[in-house]
Amino acid sequence: LDLLRDLRHAVERNQLELYFQPKIDARSGEVTAAEALLRWHHPTRGMVSPVIFIPIAERFGFMRELGNWVIDAACRQAQVWRESGLRMRVAINLSAQQMRQADIVDRIQKALEASRMHPTLLTCEITESVVMENTQAIQDTFRRLGELGVHLSIDDFGTGYSSLSYLRQLPAQELKVDRAFVTDLVASADARAVVDAVIRLAHALGLRVVAEGVETQGQQQVLVAMGCDELQGYLFARPMSAQAILLWAMDDK
């Protein structure tokens, strides 16, 4: 597998880049945060999707290196934006393996310190399926991230089967409704019922709700009517380079 061979050198050869997709306040329309999404510029294949290379990295033991690169790059970028007067939180995605990485919390803490970034300005997105693993290692990481003061977000919510009592115990601040439900929102009464119930549940537990994959104004209207807090999707912006989102966000004001 030549992708595997090439991925080993991706960091040292400067082939990685973070793209960012904004999260928008559902009521005011203001940018609240930018989610970092990893991109790999392969020398001959062009852009390779993280859907392809993250599983390879996890399987062959270099997710740690990629993940640490993402943490450092996201915090550095946040510092650049702050210095440009742009106020938005930054979100990173943490994989299953990163949640089991013994020094993950220390790494995040070091990156925050190096960029003089307040922990509450960083959000860590962890998919519901990883959260549901509920092993000791993952529970410990969750707790220690909570103690560090970073915000925790349960990503792709609705695809796993979280028990309500377990959700209640998590030190999370945010829940992201999976794109699949948002896609069906206008056509399907069932999808509407699920999203409505998820928003009520999340609010009852003190979580803010982000809908991902919002592509149409119809979806936006339904979500706003249901009290969804933040929206993310192609309707507002695609993932873009750090420079592009800076211009986009300043333009917006």
Nearer to Mn ion, 93 or 115 (CB): 93
Binding to ligand G (CB under 6 A): which residues in 5-44?
21, 37-38
Give the nearest distance from C-beta 141 to ligand G in angstroms.
14
Q: Which of 93, 101, 115, 219 binds ligand G (CB under 6 A)?
A: 93
* Alpha carbon separation from 40 to 17, 28, 54, 91, 181 (Å, rounded): 6, 34, 10, 19, 29
What residues numbered 85-104 form the site for Mn ion, per CB under 5 A? 93
Structure tokens at 78: 């946040």
Query: Which residues have CB under 8 Å from 112's CB, separation 6+?
Result: 75, 118, 119, 122, 148, 150
Q: How far is the CB of 237 from ligand G (least distance, A)?
A: 9
Q: Is 156 in the site for Na ion (CB under 5 A)?
A: yes
Q: Is the Cβ of residue 125 or residue 178 nearer to Mn ion in the bound state? A: 125
DSSP assigned state of 49: P
Give bridge partners of residue 47 from the DSSP assignment: 41
- Cα 150 to Cα 2, 109, 122, 180: the distances in Å are 37, 9, 5, 27
Is 128 a binder of Mn ion (CB under 5 A)? no
**Binding piece for Na ion, criterion CB under 5 A, among 25-33, 74-82, 113-121, 156-164:** 156-164
Q: How far is the CB of 165 from ligand G (least distance, A)?
A: 25
Q: Is 155 in the site for Mn ion (CB under 5 A)?
A: yes
Alpha-carbon gap, residue 165 to 33, rounded angstroms: 29
CA distance 32 to 88: 5
Site of interaction with ligand G (CB under 6 A) = 21, 37-38, 49-51, 54, 70, 93-95, 155-156, 179, 212-215, 233-234, 239
